[in-house]
Amino acid sequence: MRLGFAVLLFLAIAPSLYAQSGLTITTEPNAIVWVDEIRRGTTDASGKLTLTKVSAGRHSVRVRANGFKETTAAVLPGRRALAVKLVATTDEAELKFQEAEAAREKARDDASQQQAADLYREAIKLRPAFPAAQVGLARLLMSLNQFKEAHAAIDGARKARPAYAEASAVEGRIYREEAFDDDAIRSFRRAIREGGGVQPEAYVGMAKVWEDKGDFAQAIVEYKKALAQLSDSEPVIYQMLGAAYERIEKPKEAVTAYEKYLELAPNGSYAAAIRSILTQLKREAAGEQIIP
In the chain, the domains with their CATH numbers are 5-83 (2.60.40.10), 236-292 (no CATH)
Residue 55's nearest CA partner among 72, 36, 82 is 36
Can you give the pLDDT at residue 54? 80
pLDDT of amino acid 18: 38
User: Which of 225, 224, 269 has its CA nearest to residue 244?
Assistant: 224
Q: What is the pTM of this model?
A: 0.85
d(CA 146, CA 68): 31
Question: Looking at residue 11, what is its pLDDT?
Answer: 40
Q: How many helices (H) and strands (E) does the chain have?
A: 12, 7
Q: Is 269 helix (H, G, I), strand (E, B) or coil?
A: coil
HSE (side-chain half, CA atoms, 13 Å) at 48? 7
% helix, strand, coil for the chain, step of 5: 60, 15, 30
> Is the distance from CB of 91 to CB of 69 less than 8 angstroms?
yes
What does residue 226 show for φ and ψ, rounded to 5 degrees? -65, -45
Question: pLDDT digits over 224-247, tens only?
Answer: 999 998 877 789 999 999 999 999
DSSP states of 195-214 as a string? Answer: TTT--HHHHHHHHHHHHHTT
Ranges of the chain with pLDDT below 70: 1-21, 288-292
pLDDT of residue 21: 67
